[in-house]
Amino acid sequence: MANSWFQFQQFRVNQDNCAMKISTDAVMLGALADTISPNEILDIGTGTGVIALMLAQRFPEAKIQAVEVDSQTASQALDNFRSNAFSERMQLWEGRLQNFEPHKKYDLIVSNPPYFPDHLKSSDLQRNTALHTDELSFQDLLVKAAALLKDTGKFWVILPPRQMQDFHQEAEKHGLFLGAKFTLQDRPGKRVLREICFFSRKQTEVEVTAIFIKNEEGTPHETYAGLVSGFLLGF
């Protein structure tokens, strides 16, 4: 069973009321997502708030806006924001992304979105909202991201490879083009577990960079250790 809290070097995240606990996915997105000198950052589906908190730590001049549809999760994320050193720069909006209407656009948008179809649902309604696309489809996510992204901004997403392929195709319909791809593997030679990509309005040649969590002998790989340094305890 996951701990009710997770301690980072500069902040703590409580997660006992969240369906989705702290994961490698969230930490990788929080460590990788960037753009040049962002002033306004949007985290879609913030969950525990960990990605938003990591971005607040990385970009001390930026204001962070988070969106979360589940009321229990939103309440806990807000508590996590308020109990940390970055609280003055962090806001949370509770509700469906489709109804979110800010009077600004963002330099950097991030999302660790749901990606399962509805036929795989469990009896846990809160977990279903976090995991399944019927509450937030790729199309709805991209419509909103395209509307809220500044012309020079970047939209970062983490997904399994098959779902990223679908997302990539849908993104182009909304004028957002793949800019870079990071592949996440447990060890060299193992299958790709996740892809972390950014999309922007600019069409460019795409670089692919591999990240490995562990070396063959089980020690942290340098590509992983370099990203989590400054965040996870022991790095």
* pLDDT of amino acid 127: 46
pLDDT digits (tens, 9 = 90+) for 116-171: 665 454 554 554 444 444 578 999 999 999 999 999 999 999 999 999 999 999 99
* pLDDT of amino acid 44: 97
* pLDDT of amino acid 224: 98
Query: Distance (Å, rounded) from C-alpha 209 to C-alpha 90?
Result: 31
Query: Where residue 158 sits, what CATH number does that domain have?
Result: 3.40.50.150
Residue among 156, 213, 163, 153 at smallest CA distance from 180: 156
Amino acid at the residue 94? E
pLDDT digits (tens, 9 = 90+) for 222-235: 999 999 999 999 99
In a domain, 150, yes or no: yes
Residue 177 lies in domain: 5-228
213 band by pLDDT with thresholds 50, 70 and 90 = very high
What value, to the nearest 5°, has the Cα angle with vertex 112 and ends 41 and 129? 115
In a domain, 235, yes or no: no
19 band by pLDDT with thresholds 50, 70 and 90 = confident
Cα–chain-centroid distance for residue 229? 18
pLDDT digits (tens, 9 = 90+) for 40-70: 999 999 999 999 999 999 999 999 999 999 9
17 band by pLDDT with thresholds 50, 70 and 90 = confident
In a domain, 234, yes or no: no
* Structural domains in the chain (count): 1
pLDDT digits (tens, 9 = 90+) for 62-109: 999 999 999 999 999 999 999 999 999 999 999 999 999 999 999 999
In the numeric block, the tokens 């399994």 are attached to 160
120 vs 38: which has the higher pLDDT: 38
Q: Which two tokens stand for residue 36?
A: 């040049």
In a domain, 233, yes or no: no
